[in-house]
A and B are shown apart, each in its own frame.
Chain A
C-alpha cells in the first residue's frame, strides 16, 4: 500500500520556469491538500480539494494553480517560479467519512528556485 506519493522528490528551477508537482493517493480519499513548509513558518495550506473536479484556495495560493481531474491525483503547478517559492512541498489526503479523520502525508518535494 503506497499511500501518498509525490513526484518529483527534488527539483531545481530557474526563475521564470514552470513545473508541475504530482500527488497520487491510492486510498480512495476525497480530500487532498497541498502545503508548503518553511523554517519557522510551519505547514501553510496552498490549495485543497474536497473531491474530484473541485479546488479551493488556502492560506498562500498566489503563484500556484491546481487541478483535480482524477480522484486519485492532485497536481500543483508553478507557472513562473520565483525564489520565494523555494520550499518543501507536502501533499496530504484524508477520508471524508467521519467528522475528523487523519491526514496522510507524502514524503515531500524539495524545490529550489535560483
Chain B
C-alpha cells in the first residue's frame, strides 16, 4: 500500500464551481499535512498546511484533515481559471516529505 494516494484526475470544472480534492494516507502517526500547487512546467509551491485534525481556511481555500479515516481534503470555493494547476498533497514524515501523485485541475471560463 502506498503511503499517500490521490486521484490523478484530470478534473475539469466550470468557473465559480466548488472543487474538492482528496488524499488518503496509510500511517496513522502522521501529524502534518500540506497541499502544494504546481503550475505547468514550474516547481511546486506551498498552498496550505494543517496540523493533526480539523479545518484551516485561507481565503477561498480550506484544508481539512480527518485522522480517524486518514483522509485529507482541499476545497476551493468560487474556482477561477487561475486555479488551473496540479495539486499535490504531502505529509511530513520526520526528515522529509512524502507526496501524493497530484490531481490535475482545469477551471474552464
Contact = CB atoms under 8 A, between A and B. Distances in A.
Contacts of B8: 40
Interface residues of B, number: 22
Interface in A87-114: 90, 92, 99-100, 102-103, 105-108
A58 interface: yes
Interface string A30-50: 010101000011111100101
Contact of B102 (A42, A45, A106, A107): A42
**Dominant secondary structure of chain A at its interface with chain B:** strand
Interface residues on A, range: 20 to 34
Q: Is the interface of B mostly helix, strand, loop or mixed?
A: strand
Given A40-B8, A42-B88, A100-B32, A108 B96 contact: no
A43 B43 contact: no
B96 A45 contact: yes
Given A43-B88, A48-B95, A50-B95, A108 B101 contact: no
A99 B43 contact: no
A31 B95 contact: yes
Interface in B2-24: 4, 6, 8
A42 B96 contact: no
Interface stretch (B44-52, B57-65, B75-83): B44-52
A103 B42 contact: no
Interface of B: 4, 6, 8, 32, 41-46, 49, 51, 88, 92, 95-102
19 contacts: A4-B43, A31-B95, A35-B99, A40-B101, A42-B4, A42-B6, A42-B88, A42-B100, A42-B102, A45-B96, A45-B97, A56-B95, A90-B44, A100-B92, A103-B46, A103-B97, A106-B43, A107-B43, A108-B41
Given A58-B96, A107-B42, 7 more contacts: A40-B101, A42-B102, A45-B97, A45-B98, A92-B43, A100-B92, A108-B42
